Structure 1
Amino acid sequence: MAEGLTIFGKEVFDTLFIDWKIMVPVAIFSIIMFFVGLYLQLNKWGQGIPEGATKPVGAWGTLKLIVHKIFERGIGPALGIIILDGLFQRRTWRRRKTEWAMHILIFWGYLGLFILTVVAAATEFYGPFVLNETPGNPQLFVQTFQVLKPFNMLFATMLTLGIIIAIIRRLAFADVPPARFTSVDWIAIAGLSIVIITGFLAFYLRLDVYHVPGRELVSAYEATTPGFFNNITVLFHEVFTLLFCVAYLPFSKLFHMFVTPLVIMMQKGGYVEVNA
């Protein structure tokens, strides 16, 4: 009997900490909702009529306009703006150092964890489909998981520090205008806090309670560590993270963490008042 999901005779998701029958539908739903939200945001931005146009450009037109604006001076200048103003948010650094620290920690913590998730998912399929790993022998994914663990902890710590700074700024700093001190802010902060707290709790349960150092087959979890597979805390963390950090992202206040650098890049590094 297959321990994971069988696709064209290849087996994947056979080392998950929760049942793939839960994980896969939630992941698919979250990805679909993310792209729906992204489309709605692009379509909303495309309701205006740009200079030289006679009607709203819509979602696809907005996407083309964004790419054109960023690269209209050439690849070299665009790369400089992408790196300095997009990835490292130079303009925010020049205005408010504490806000920059908060933004950069949340931005890179979030982005780093997302990249690690994509890499892990890619190796999940690369092993059986490209390397022809046999069912029940997911060596590439198991090894990749071990390599990614310290980076996962690094980005999780960055995200945690960013959230702590965000909370302190809103409670104690005078540079946060009252208009920004809204329930929407606290929904974003509370959601990320839940992700972080349950994540570290799941990490503690895996290492210190159930003594699971890395990825194993589902049958190994059930045989050697009863109670770990589909543990309610781990399950909640995995499901909530997908729903909040992927499905809800385009609809949330968190989206401005990625939109603001994008707007700065479109303005060739110009000043943008960040709604943070």
Structure 2
Amino acid sequence: YSRLPPEPDFYNEKQKPPSEWPTKGKIEFKNYKFRYRAELEPVLKGINLDIEPCDKVGICGRTGAGKSSIFQALFRLVDKSATEGQICIDDIDINTISLSDLRSHLNIIPQSPVLFSNTLRYNLDPFSKHSDEELWIALAMVQLKDKMSEISDGLSIQVAEYGSNFSVGECQLICVARALLKPSKILLIDEATANIDMHTDKLIQQVIREKFSAQTVLTIAHRLDTIQHSDKIVLISDGLVKAYGKPTDVLDDTKNDDIDLDDTDEKKKGTL
């Protein structure tokens, strides 16, 4: 192992956002540039993007276009010295607040489920902020309550490392249940349905539509059916916004060859 330096500005009592921030979930990228280290070329090369509160926005583009970098930028996973421009959430520049305040107000469902070797209760509610009843309600929303109720340990069942004692779909549903329990006006979904069966895929999409209607939701996806019902789609190409608008306008534009549809068969399957 090695010792890593702590992230600067993780806690900063002098620069705290308003207690109820964010109340809307509006996101603005203002000529934003992002590089992994100060000496490297930028991977985001001047992103300008206005995302309205409660909008459901799909993010697409070829591999390496910069889709995941947008999420990394929102979480401030690189030092401020390697960025230019601004990202504002509800009119507050995220560089002016602490990492703790920023990240605690963002919700994410990652592509690979993040589960810890601990109880199911801990994985759903790591900071013990909710009652068992609330945890069961969240499990019911993702159709896991019946299965977990049949297990004698219930919420105390031990989750193996990486959730290896659950299926990939079940692990992802646990992550969705955890997101349901965290109050946040912004939800980021990083290809969360890429490695699961069709039934679980549809269930997750249904839960997101019904239970996160009051949140701003950004979804990175490679499958068309994951984002075709979004309010808007943003097409990222070579670190820039190539197109942004209604799904029909972006997907039907023959000029947008950066939408990663491999061939006719893949188009029929809905892959991007």
What is the TM-score with the length of structure 2 in the denominator? 0.26
Larger radius of gyration: 1
Please identify which structure carries the higher strand content: 2
What is the TM-score with the length of structure 1 in the denominator? 0.26
Highest RCO, 1 vs 2 (Cα 8 Å, sep ≥ 6): 1
Please identify which structure carries the higher helix content: 1
